[in-house]
Amino acid sequence: MTDAGEPAGPGAATGAGAATGAGAATGAGEPSEAGASLRAGETLGPRGDAGDGGARILVVNAGSSSLKLRVLDAADAVVATADLPAPRETADVGAIAETIAGFGDIAAVGHRIVHGGARYSGPVRLDAEVEANLRALTDLAPLHQPKSLAALTAVNAALPTVPAVACFDTAFHAGMPAAATTYAIPPEWRKRWALRKYGFHGLSHAYASRRAAAMVGRPVEDLRIVTCHLGAGASLAAILGGRSVDTTMGFTPLDGLVMATRSGSIDPGLVLWLEGHVGMPPEELAATLEHRSGLLGLAGTADMRAILAANASGDETAALAIGVYLHRLRASIAAMVAALGGLDILVFTGGVGEHAPAIRERVVAGLAFLGAGVDSATNAAVAGDAEITAAGSRVRTLVVVAREDVEIAREVRAVLGLPAVARLWDECRSQPA
């Protein structure tokens, strides 16, 4: 199951500014160091002017299946793109350098980093000290952080004098109230190991909430929004006044909703029982809950499209998988609404959120008591950003294409003081309720 906009497989590349040859491309939280000046040895890449798109930002997103490279101009248009094989402990420096060389001039780089820990509550300029701090956080995200850091090392080798910014999936949630982030465990545990709810997918939630506010023509600060990032990984965020006040993922991205291969929330006593009474090693427990659970464990496949098709053919296993998925999703949305004290906008984003109208309709059908409803015909015909609210519904329901690259570029510009032209979230397309 892939998110919207992903090419068919690693190595695919499209867009302008392409080179030829192997590996060639063919083609918010508040910043913690806003306006920081250049350091010795650094140079901004050629920034151009309004006629050629202005400062071009390279966005680096090291995922589980591929390394996504996107170049955005000052108006957030994607002017070059390439997908390479995902890095492991190290990345293919030569292939990455050759690909980046085909992109042309780059003013600055933005890296998606999964975990910023308690130290980083916003984007930060990368230097040796910051990189060392990020490596120290690897134990908190052992499946994701090494890939991001391997990509960081490779891109820095290709662009050693171009300033780079780390943009964190955890930062958007860093300001959540203590009541939402604190686990009911002994304080010595919490302090010694920094055990708390961190939350993830923050870049996606931040962009989706801002874009949704623009679509309805209202300031994000005036709205109560629940964003549903539904992809291979899945999480919700409760957003009040433009800030996250609760989310479904916790200390790790394993918590919360049922996902493609991750279990989501389960009774910790069950895990303790498997370890203590069955003798299951911690490594096997971790691998099973991360890679062999979720939709895959319920239906034998992690692909929501296949599960929906099987359900339509009367497959009982598929029906159960969808039932479990929807039950957890509806209950969690209701919990987010409780944290907000009401709901103005419900947003679907991510691969499933954008491309599974049946899931959207069935989720919202169970939320009628909150004043939500979708128009079936509009919902079935969605392409891109759209409103699918049913006539007479108090809550507006939207579909927003996931654009973490836009959010990262925004944060890079804020930290480095780079100019921008019209951004996607400034395009207010107010629609009648």
Q: Are 262 and 290 in contact (CB under 8 A)?
A: yes
Range of the domain at 151: 13-196+405-425
Q: Based on the domain organization, do 156 and 280 belong to the same domain?
A: no
Residues 369 and 287 reside in one and the same domain: yes
Same domain (yes/no): 414, 379: no
Residue 209 in domain: no
Does position 195 have pLDDT exceeding 70, yes or no? yes
Query: Would you say residue 1 lies in a domain?
Result: no
163 with 109, same domain? yes
Give pLDDT, residue 40.
39
pLDDT above 70 covers a percentage of the chain that reads: 85
Q: pLDDT class for 433, splitting at 50, 70, 90?
A: very low
Tell whether 297 and 420 lie within a shared domain: no
Residues 85 and 230 in one domain: no
pLDDT at residue 94 above 80?
A: yes
Q: How far is CA 48 from CA 54, 159, 313, 371, 414, in A?
A: 5, 18, 55, 49, 18
User: 253 and 388: one domain?
Assistant: yes
Instruction: Classify 186 as helix, strand or coil.
Output: coil
The answer to whether residue 433 sits within a structural domain is: no
Of the CA atoms within 13 Å of residue 41, those in its CB half-sphere come to 5
Q: Give me the mean pLDDT over the 140-159 stretch.
A: 90
On whether both 189 and 223 belong to a single domain, the answer is: no
Residues 310 and 368 both lie in one domain? yes
Q: What is the pLDDT of residues 95-117, one digit of tens each?
A: 999 999 999 999 999 999 999 99
Strand order in the sheet with 164-168: 13-15, 78-85, 66-72, 57-62, 108-113, 164-168, 124-125
> What pTM does this model have?
0.86
How far apart CA 377 and CA 380 sit, in angstroms, is: 5
Percent of the chain with pLDDT over 90: 78
Give the pLDDT confidence score for residue 18 in this predicted structure. Answer: 34
Average pLDDT over residues 163-172: 97
Do 244 and 391 belong to one domain? yes
Residue 430: inside a domain = no
**Do residue 411 and residue 378 come from a single domain?**
no
The domain total for the chain is 2
State the pLDDT at residue 253.
92
Cβ contact 73:53 at 8 Å: yes
Q: What is the CATH number of the domain that holds 47?
A: 3.30.420.40
pLDDT at 39 (0 to 100): 43
Asked if residue 8 is part of any domain, the answer here is no
Closest C-alpha to 363, from 402, 391, 337: 337
In a domain, 204, yes or no: no
Question: How high is the pLDDT of residue 53?
Answer: 55
User: By three-state DSSP, how is residue 57 classified?
Assistant: strand
Condensed to tens digits (0 to 9), the pLDDT of residues 54-66 reads 799 999 999 877 8
* 127-136 average pLDDT score: 95
Q: Which residues are catalytic?
A: 169
| pLDDT (tens digit per residue) in 335-348 | 999 999 999 999 99
- Residue 25, pLDDT > 50, answer no
Helix, strand, coil % over all residues of the chain, rounded to 5: 40, 15, 45
Least confidently predicted of 18-27, 61-70, 270-279: 18-27
- 22 pLDDT band, cuts 50/70/90, is very low
74 and 92 in a common domain? yes
**Which range, of 126-130, 138-142, 310-314, averages the lowest pLDDT?**
138-142
Of 68, 93, 72, 63, the closest CA to residue 17 belongs to: 72
Name the token pair of 279. 């003798």
Q: Is residue 213 part of a domain?
A: no
- 340 close to 220: Cβ distance less than 8 angstroms: no
Residue 423 binned pLDDT confidence (cut-offs 50, 70, 90): low
pLDDT tens, position by position, 229-266: 999 999 999 999 999 999 999 999 999 999 999 999 99
